[in-house]
Amino acid sequence: MSAQQINPDDALYVDMFIAKNSQTMTFIRSSYSAILGLAAGTLGLTNLSGFIFYFLGSAFLSVLIFLLKTKASPALFFRQPLDVFTEGVLGGLFSYILFWTLLYGIIHVYD
């Protein structure tokens, strides 16, 4: 018997695995957002520069996930391949703002 090759176009999505992938993506993004917020608060970024820092960091994380975790084929892990770049970005923004303002207030309050 020869082993059958699985065609990616015929791949079936299992809802449990899709949910687990989404949960993992949310955890990675929220953790990374907290780290970015700590960095932005420590650096003393304010206003637009702080938001640009977040979105550039989020884009960098998306590229890392695309290349390292999905090995440049996100269609095997998500129903929509663009979910790698969009899922959890705005949810992570709240964690980012929380840690950004916390560290900025602690470090730069007397500047």
What is the end-to-end Cα distance of the chain in Å, rounded? 74
Question: What tokens were used for 69?
Answer: 């975790």
In a domain, 8, yes or no: no
In a domain, 6, yes or no: no
In a domain, 25, yes or no: yes
Name the strand (E) or helix (H) holding 39. Answer: helix 15-43
Q: Give residue-wise pLDDT tens across range 7-23.
A: 665 567 788 988 999 99
In a domain, 66, yes or no: yes
Global pTM value:
0.83
Which is nearest to 61 in space by CA: 98, 96, 101? 96
Distance CA 97, CA 10 (A): 42
Domain count, the chain: 1
Q: Give residue-wise pLDDT tens across range 25-83.
A: 999 999 999 999 999 999 999 999 999 999 999 999 999 999 999 999 998 888 898 99
